[in-house]
Amino acid sequence: TPSLYFPQVRKARILEIQEKIQLPYAQLEMQGTSLFNDGGLQDVMNLQTNDVKRLKALLSMRNMSKQDAIPILKSALRDPADDIRLLAYAMLDRYETQINAELESVQSQLADATDAHKAELHKHIALNYWELAYLGLAQGAVLEHALDQAQQNIQQAMAFKETPELAMLAGRIALKQKRSEFASLAFKQAIAVGMDKQHVLPYLAEAAYMSGHYQKIPYLLEQLPEALRHRYPFSELVDYWYVNTNRI
């Protein structure tokens, strides 16, 4: 009865709103001009109108692999800014000079080398010539000379000792020379002396395409491991050749 006539009075709960809460850290402020840009270095070189940013992008390529940097440097040779064109040319020239210096060093050792050591030296020479061709540092007649020298040194190395790697390289050089029949023989020899077939099949398919033996391509691609067939870029190749084979 007392609680009915004399209820306890509760204070109303008031929500306290604070306009600004002091946190132990402050939000980072975005700078108006950032050092780096959205997109890759190729996009910066092609689309960026600021010469300084293009120059910074070019300088950052010194830490990239030659395989990734050289195509971008070659496109920079057409840049409207003189400083960027000169820097790109200097960086390309440095890569070529390094390879040529290594070539001269290895070639100078051939005269005094034993037969066993000569095989390794010829392989090293072939790899250097192949690097000039593969990276696009050699063009025109220089490219043909580099490929010829690479192939000759591979054959000289294989005369001492035939390995899967040498046979594989001989096939890849032949593909670059548009000698598809020789390339196919080299790739088959690579498999015969121990190269894993799945590494050779895509090159065999390329050689078959180059020589016009299109009916062989689906058969070669079908021999790839299933996981590899469903992986880019082989998935698109397999689908394309199977669709076209069914149409025929």
**Secondary structure (DSSP) of the chain:** -HHHHSPPPPPPP-PPP-S----SS-PPPPPSS-SS-SS-HHHHHHH---HHHHHHHHHHGGGS-HHHHHHHHHHHTT-SSHHHHHHHHHHHHHHHHHHHHHHHHHHTTSTT--HHHHHHHHHHHHHHHHHHHHTT---HHHHHHHHHHHHHHHHHHHHH---HHHHHHHHHHHHHTT-HHHHHHHHHHHHHTT--HHHHHHHHHHHHHHHT-TTHHHHHHHTS-HHHHTSTTHHHHHHHHHHHHHH-
Q: What integer pLDDT is reported at residue 16 of this predicted model?
A: 72
Assess contact for 129 and 149: CB atoms under 8 A: yes
What is the rounded radius of gyration, in angstroms, for the C-alpha atoms of the chain?
Answer: 31
Query: Would the pLDDT of 244 be above 70?
Result: no
Please compute the mean of the pLDDT values over residues 199-211 and round it to a whole number: 93
**CA separation for the pair 230, 162 (Å, rounded):** 33
Q: Which residue has the higher pLDDT, 229 or 19?
A: 229
Q: Which pTM does this prediction carry?
A: 0.75
pLDDT tens per residue across span 2-14? 777 777 777 666 7
pLDDT tens per residue across span 39-66? 577 888 888 888 888 898 888 888 888 8
Assess contact for 135 and 70: CB atoms under 8 A: yes
Query: Would the pLDDT of 38 be above 70?
Result: no
**CA separation for the pair 139, 131 (Å, rounded):** 12
Q: What integer pLDDT is reported at residue 238 of this predicted model?
A: 80
Confidence of residue 248 (pLDDT cuts 50, 70, 90): very low
Query: Would the pLDDT of 230 be above 70?
Result: yes
Query: Would the pLDDT of 31 be above 70?
Result: no
Q: What integer pLDDT is reported at residue 243 of this predicted model?
A: 56
Q: What integer pLDDT is reported at residue 35 of this predicted model?
A: 46
